[in-house]
Amino acid sequence: MNNMKQFQQMFLAQLKLTLREKQAWFWGIFFPVILMVIFMVIFSGESNEDFQAQVAVVNENQNETSDMLLSQISQMELLDIKEGTFNREDAEELVEEQEVDAAIVLPASMEETSLSLIINKENEQGATTQALSGILDKLIQQANLSAAGATQTYQLQFESVTSGTNELDYTDFLLTGMIALAIAQGGLFGMVDLVEMRRKGLIKRLRMTPAKMSIFGLSDMAMRFIFSIIQIVLLSLIGVFIFGANLYINFFSLIVVFLFGALSFNALGYFISSFSKTTEAYMGVANIVSFLMMFLSGVFFPIETMPEWIQPVSHVLPLTYFAQGLRDSMVYSTSLASSTLWIGIGIIFLWGAIAYLIGSWLYKTKSIVATR
């Protein structure tokens, strides 16, 4: 009864402290949002649109061959053909001034068999050029085949496979990665309060009262959970409504992954606080840990894109599994029955449990709680 009242008051105090701490809002809310927006704008903005190249077609002397090729080219959706008729000089000028991506010069007579592609030297290595030459190559091959009277024997079929119901867009990948990072950092950096309270003698002061420290810790964790939920909701809303991320959430899995992840990263923060005598020392360690994990845990880019020798490190870090767990539960709607999800949660839990145990042991043996 009295415990409940104590919890309420302590939680209320924690809520006010968090609301009034500007730093918490900046690093916990504003910073992850900005970071996510920047990454999404840089890496996912343009590339999602369909490929299309604008070309000018030079057909100076109309003949059967050129008409046949022109009709085939016009049917290709990937090519946007500039209106009007051009001679070779006009076309070259357009390419030079980059008004079109390329110019295609059709055969000048029925007998001529070559087709030329004029591109700007600057763009020689560009993706558009590569694609265009590929397209024309294919066109010519088909023309050659039909000229030889042969039919195509082999065909390439392109299919993509994912384990989920839909494809993983980079937006979805980054969104879930950022949520994982924000929650992880909340835990890693958040426990600096403990160092600060110890330094100011506030922990000692509370120990002089009959206040139950376990209730105090519980109210602190409750506040941290609420803060993390705000992070998840806010980042998801921005991801979905501004950048068009697709989420298929399995709420039960999400809650379990979230609880284990948030607790474990808070435990890591607690561990760091157990041997840091000053705020600066704490922040130094937390920064190193957070930086390492940020880039090695597949938050921004898939782990598979990293050098092979570094990948084993990624497969040890808790953030890897937390980000993966959030992806599974928020994008693939994976149920808890999935063994990958369970193994990931297990590894996260192991990290948290070990960090907490060593942290408590250090608190007891070095008894820095009691030091002034």
- The token pair at 152 is 């195509």
**CB of 369 vs another protein, minimal distance in Å:** 10
CA distance 119 to 82: 15
Q: Write the CA distances from 284 to 20, 100, 192, 193, integer angstroms.
A: 24, 53, 11, 15
Q: Which of 34, 292, 343, 370 binds another protein (CB under 8 A)?
A: 370
**CB of 183 vs another protein, minimal distance in Å:** 23
3-class secondary structure for 304-354?
Answer: HHCCHHHHHHHCCCHHHHHHHHHHHHHCCCCCCCCHHHHHHHHHHHHHHHH
* Site track for another protein across 310-349, x = CB under 8 A: ----------------------------------------
CA distance 179 to 237: 11
Q: Does 366 bind another protein (CB under 8 A)?
A: no
**CB of 363 vs another protein, minimal distance in Å:** 16
Q: Which of 1, 5, 121, 337 binds another protein (CB under 8 A)?
A: 5
Q: Is 213 or 237 the residue whose CB approaches another protein more closely?
A: 213
Q: 300 near 174, Cβ under 8 Å?
A: yes
Q: Which stretch binds another protein (CB under 8 A): 46-54, 98-106, 108-116, 206-214?
A: 206-214
Q: Which of 155, 209, 214, 365 binds another protein (CB under 8 A)?
A: 209
Q: Which of 121, 208, 312, 337 binds another protein (CB under 8 A)?
A: 208
CA distance 90 to 103: 10
Q: Does 205 bind another protein (CB under 8 A)?
A: yes
**CB of 210 vs another protein, minimal distance in Å:** 4
Q: Is 192 or 254 the residue whose CB approaches another protein more closely?
A: 192
Q: Which stretch binds another protein (CB under 8 A): 16-24, 41-49, 282-290, 358-366?
A: 16-24
Closest CA to 71 of 61, 89, 59, 60: 59
**Where do the DSSP E strands lie in the chain?**
53-58, 79-81, 102-105, 116-119
What does the buried/exposed string (b/e) look like for 351-367 if buried means 16 or more CB atoms within 10 Å of the residue's CB?
bbeebbeebeebbeeee
Q: Does 16 bind another protein (CB under 8 A)?
A: yes
- The token pair at 114 is 């070559």
Q: Which of 207, 315, 364, 366 binds another protein (CB under 8 A)?
A: 207
Q: Which of 10, 102, 272, 303 binds another protein (CB under 8 A)?
A: 10
Q: Which stretch binds another protein (CB under 8 A): 3-11, 40-48, 65-73, 124-132?
A: 3-11
Q: Which stretch binds another protein (CB under 8 A): 14-22, 130-138, 169-177, 356-364?
A: 14-22
3-class secondary structure for 61-102?
Answer: CCCHHHHHHHHHHHHCCCEEECCCCECHHHHHHHHHCCCCCE
Binders of another protein in range 18-47 (CB under 8 A): 20-21
Q: Does 9 bind another protein (CB under 8 A)?
A: yes
The footprint of another protein on this chain (CB under 8 A) covers a number of residues equal to: 22
**CB of 269 vs another protein, minimal distance in Å:** 20
List, edge to edge, every strand of the sheet that includes 116-119.
79-81, 53-58, 102-105, 116-119
Q: Write the CA distances from 178 to 42, 151, 242, 323, 352, integer angstroms.
A: 15, 51, 15, 8, 20
CA distance 89 to 371: 85
Q: Does 217 bind another protein (CB under 8 A)?
A: no
Q: 188 near 286, Cβ under 8 Å?
A: yes
Q: Which of 33, 140, 211, 221 binds another protein (CB under 8 A)?
A: 211
Name residue, tokens 């948030």: 262
Residue ranges binding another protein (CB under 8 A): 2, 5-6, 9-10, 13, 16-17, 20-21, 200-202, 204-205, 207-211, 370, 372
